[in-house]
Amino acid sequence: MIPAPTNPALVDPFARPISYLRVSVTDRCDFRCTYCMAENMTFLPKAELLSLEELDRLCSTFVRLGVEKLRITGGEPLVRRGIMTFFRAMSRHLETGSLRELTLTTNGSQLARHAEELAACGVRRVNVSLDTLDPEKFARITRWGRLNQVLDGIRAARAASLRVKINAVALRGFNEDELFRLVEWCGGEGHDLTFIEVMPMGEMGEDTRLHQYWSLNDLRATLAERYSLIELSDRTGGPARYIRLAQTGQRLGFITPLTHNFCESCNRVRLTCTGELFMCLGQEDRADLRQPLRRSPDDAALEEAIRAAIARKPRGHDFDYSRRTVSGQMSRHMSHTGG
């Protein structure tokens, strides 16, 4: 039996319970994906980052307030020194039943090193970002990445009994010609696959964003030329909507912040590695949790700051490409907030 939270659950002004926390443990990454980062990034000074002990205290406070799903992100979370100490600490909330799921989103580059220990900490599935199966294109889109390293990581995850979901950003003129190859490869390997629309995050320039944007409505129409698409009511706690391919039985997800705004069911907030809480990925409003965290060893002020932040959570974001301009663009890079 899952114990009830010791305090009233977090509920935003639109009666949405907040049960999902995404935590960026670092803004650093060993890739420089063209839709996520500039090639020459200026990262935060390490002194500005929350310690792993502070991240533990913050996340544990959210769990105490009713958060049931914790996703660790970055940057690339597995490049942070000592990060497995944090996963081991969070596993105690799985053992008590307070936390239903502990998971992460990764580029896969470090999975071969950490997959077995992640599984030992109670992680049961991981999301791996993979936009192409072509080694040359992979090197081009990631700038610094090697496809074989990621594929080795995915194999190590499977060997450790971790379920793998592939996240592929839909990029016009880049992976349109690999649509069926990606679907068939994931089906053959037993991976779920989710397509994501590129979001206007970071100062990449409007022309770049418009050139990259591939509507998932168009992607679905292309899929329908080969497969019968069956709508599913499945929900995994995130923003994806799912279909099943009648011919193969495999499930595909679609995250559509542009063509189908999913804000009405948003149950999540995002914590950065510096202790900023973003109540919406597509809005600039944030709350400083580092200050109350460090001001007192008592959590009362921290809980009050969290509740005050949730009370400001907006109805939704303003991302829009429909007028051939990038409306609702955020100046911060995706790696700052953690996706």
Tell me which residue has tokens 């923003």: 239
How far are the Cα atoms of 128, 154, 190 from residue 150, in angstroms, in the given order? 9, 6, 16
Find out whether 260 and 219 touch, Cβ atoms under 8 Å: no
Find out whether 278 and 272 touch, Cβ atoms under 8 Å: yes
Q: Which amino acid is at 242?
A: Y
Compute φ and ψ for 136, nearest 5 degrees.
-70, -45
Binding site members for [4Fe-4S] cluster:
29, 33, 36, 263, 266, 280
CA angle centred on 116, ends 185 and 46, rounded to 5°: 100
> For residue 109, what is the DSSP state?
T
Binding site members for S-adenosyl-L-methionine:
35, 75, 129, 199
Q: Which of 164, 307, 190, 315 is CA-nearest to residue 248?
A: 190
- CB contact set of 177 (below 8 Å; sequence gap of 6+): none
Binding site members:
22, 29, 33, 35-36, 71, 75, 105, 129, 165, 199, 263, 266, 268-270, 280
Binding site members for GTP:
22, 71, 105, 165, 268-270
**Tokens read off for 133:** 């199966």
**Tokens read off for 50:** 């929350």
> For residue 320, what is the DSSP state?
B
Find out whether 32 and 142 touch, Cβ atoms under 8 Å: yes
The DSSP string of 27-83 is S--S---TTT--SS--PPPGGGSPPHHHHHHHHHHHHHTT--EEEEESS-GGGSTTH
